[in-house]
A and B are shown apart, each in its own frame.
Chain A
Amino acid sequence: MADYEFGIKLEGFSDGLAPLAHIDSRTFLGSKGQASSMRADIISNPGFIQQSPALANLTNGTQAGVVSELIRFILDKPTASDTTYAIGTTKLFKLSSTAVTSGGTPSWPQTVTDMTEGESVIRLKANLYGFYNKASGGDILKMPLATEVIDPDWGSSNDAALEDALHPVAAKEDIMVFGNGRYVGVYVEGSATLDVQKLDFGEGAEVVDIVFNANLWYIAVNYGEGRRGQIYLYDGSAVSSILSDEAGLGSQKIGFLFVFNGIVYVAYQDNSSGAFAIGWMSGRQLKPLRYFAGSLPDHRQKTLYKNTILFISDEDIFSCGAPVEQLPIQVSTLADAGYATVGGLAAPFGTPMVASTDGSTNYRLAKFSGLSVDSNWKSVSLDISDGRKLGKVTLVIVTTKPLGASARCDLVLEGNQGEDDDSSSFSITGTGKTRHVFKSIDLKPAQDVRVVLDSTNGHASNACLIRKIELLGNFVDR
């Protein structure tokens, strides 16, 4: 008899969540490196499992400072060195990479008259424009970046009020194109022409996102309460009233569009299964890339981080993409987004920042900083049975990067899909150690086993980077 009759090797952790993880959190289907459930960082150093990034509030970034409402949208690029803006429910905020501006002339944050729901902000040439809803309808504010004096009803003064709806916006050169309920509005600064109803997609339509790519505006429209999605192309000059092309997505509800490196990604909900997915436009076809669980993010909740798209789903920040082209596309739960209700997500200075509220009195605007101990990684369920025989794991070997002081991650084995008692917890720790061997595995013989890594006892700055996990065991008659 061999010392061990079966062996399992888990590695290549850059694959992210398993294909069916959004359906079954204990799925058996997956690769060696895929997880059935996770909240961990597998994109910072692909191939390794690392603790999630932690969140640190920006200076003045809570209700104790000046963030006393949910920041709903963060401009995803700086307007000047270390300067950008965000919009909440009633106020316009000014941000740096470390702080939310308080006071000054004019005094920040600035209250926007009659605003009840900020939707988006964008910089067009020397001005900042903000789109927002009011108790009834909506409007566009204009703020010269030089003076920072807000004209709250610039939109209605120059054309007409907006619908009370989502207001995604995109800009290029001196043109900005924005969603306005069933309409698309256009502003051409060169000719100072604003038309808030340039295109009309009809009753029951809602423009949910707009991006610019390949000299065309991509306009995502949902119809019939999101039962049908459509993507339209519109000429880059935005002077025509006729669209350039269109692709019907069928029974898909679109959340957002995202352009990266010439590819248009689409976050959507598959109405037939209820699953959420990230796909990409291949010709007139939407090709799904990876599925995820939770909720459908909108135009305010997307950004780029380490060559992957970050987006919000429920209370978490997800990542989708490949850190390098030679690796597969992955989707993974990267980090906790803060409080339960999440607002805007962006990375205007490179490091992602996210706004959230507990729905009561607590608000925050925080950015990635250090390592979170609220992090875990769970393998797919691993079948260790052989006919009538059950598997008994007797040895676990974990390979890591050399660990720093107090770096730690705890390993537990779950048997029979969590129905049996878990094994004891084994600590992966030890300064300078790279190989961690655990022999006294007390998990009872089982049909299947799942490896759970937990960072509750981890360190805030010294990471425990796990490269490989091996399980060895024998079959036992039962």
Chain B
Amino acid sequence: MAKIKDLSPKLKTKLKTAEQEFAMEYQAGQLPFGQNLGGTQMYSARFIRGYGDKVFGSSDLGIWLGAADWGDAPFRVNMDGDVVASSADFSGAGYTKLTIFKQDSIPTSVAVGDLWFDTDDNNRMYRSASVGADEITAGEWEEVAIPSVTVFAQDEIPTSLAEGDLWFDTDDENKEYRAASVGADEITAGEWELVSTTGISVFAQDAIPTSTAIGDLWVDTNDGNALYRAASVGADEITAGEWEAVTPEGGITVFAQDSIPTSTAIGDLWYDTNDSNKPYRAASIGADQITAGEWEIVDDQRAADALLKSGSSQTLTGDFNLNDEKVTIDGANNRIMIADDSNDRCLFGKQTGGFP
């Protein structure tokens, strides 16, 4: 019997199982898509290690730390070596790039750039020009020239060591001098020259000081800190052209009231309204008493004149009428008239031939 011909459909290639279908075939040189090994991502020229903003990255821009992208990173170095960092601290214990010696004897350098302060020679500073330097000579320990000045504070005139040295004359109010040359030992031009104080002196004391410059200020400490300005050098009195009171900005205050006010500036005025507007002037700031140095009465010279005039002979012209001419001192006729409302009158006086 002939075999039955099998006409069942067939595919030339047997279908793979799903297991076989997804079996990865390694292709030489090809990295897996989005390869990320232990937080390391590699994408074209960009390399990232970490996750989110906590990464170390590198790309054609440079290297960076602390942000997903270069531009946001708090620390980054570009290809030109420019560094951007939030802060830097070089105090780490392992930072031993340079050795600094501070001793009498010559040390042996361990690196170029080491520093040595010679403690028995005014801490003169040397820099090593080579590793193993143990002599003060070119190429080994070389002195570092420090453009420094010496500051003298003494009575006698010192000898300057360098131009620019300073001397404070301790027995002359610490006057300051500057050396204009090396070896200066006299107070003269080109040697020790007085340093001109461009400012003014401010005195704060009880006694009247002697001004040293126009514009000096004196705060009178026992007079409510009243402020004075020197109008001349050598001023030693409170008077015009010497120490002149400074009126505070804003002027003085004029008080017109019953009670004693408190002054706000020297020169303030107070008219005592329940005492015939008697005037007072503040002699100090904060004055609240009628007393010397505080509210001081201002003399009315006209009243004084009047009093003076009352004690001496005076000539008056015209009648002296009292109470609407009911009493009249009539000098021209040498009489005093006392009259009632109509015609009754009394006359006192001297009249040759009697009164009319």
| A residues adjacent to B (C-beta < 8 A) | 1-2, 4-10, 15, 19, 28-32, 34, 214-216, 233, 235-237, 239-245, 247, 263, 280-284, 289, 321-322, 324-329, 379-380, 382-384, 386, 391, 472
Contacts and interface: CB of A to CB of B under 8 A. Distances in A.
Interface stretch (B29-37, B150-158, B289-297): B29-37
Contacts of B323: none
Interface of B: 1-11, 15-19, 21-22, 24, 27, 30-36, 41, 43, 46, 48, 51-53, 68-69
Contacts of B1: 2
A434 B1 CA distance: 29
Nearest to B41: A244
B53 A239 contact: yes
B51 to A, nearest CB: 6
A203 B8 CA distance: 53
B6 A321 contact: no
Given A2-B3, A233-B34, 20 more contacts: A2-B1, A2-B2, A5-B2, A29-B11, A30-B9, A31-B11, A235-B52, A235-B68, A236-B51, A237-B68, A241-B68, A243-B43, A244-B36, A244-B43, A244-B48, A245-B43, A282-B24, A283-B24, A283-B32, A386-B5
A472 B6 contact: no
A15 B5 contact: no
Nearest to A28: B9
A84 to B, nearest CB: 29
Contacts of A19: 11
A235 B34 CA distance: 9
A6 B52 contact: no
A242 B58 CA distance: 13
25 contacts: A2-B4, A5-B5, A6-B7, A8-B6, A8-B9, A9-B8, A29-B11, A30-B9, A30-B11, A31-B9, A239-B52, A239-B68, A242-B46, A244-B36, A282-B24, A283-B33, A289-B21, A326-B17, A326-B18, A329-B16, A329-B18, A379-B9, A382-B9, A383-B7, A391-B7
Given A5-B2, A244-B43, A216 B34 contact: yes
A284 B68 CA distance: 24
Given A7-B5, A30-B9, A233 B33 contact: yes
Contacts of A244: 34, 36, 41, 43, 48
Nearest to A12: B15
Contacts of A380: 9
Given A7-B5, A237-B51, A328 B15 contact: yes
Contacts of A289: 21
Nearest to A9: B8
A2 B5 CA distance: 11
Nearest to A34: B9
B7 A325 contact: no
B72 to A, nearest CB: 9
Given A15-B15, A327-B18, A214 B9 contact: no
Given A321-B18, A325-B18, A325-B19, A7 B53 contact: no
A214 B35 CA distance: 10
B33 to A, nearest CB: 5
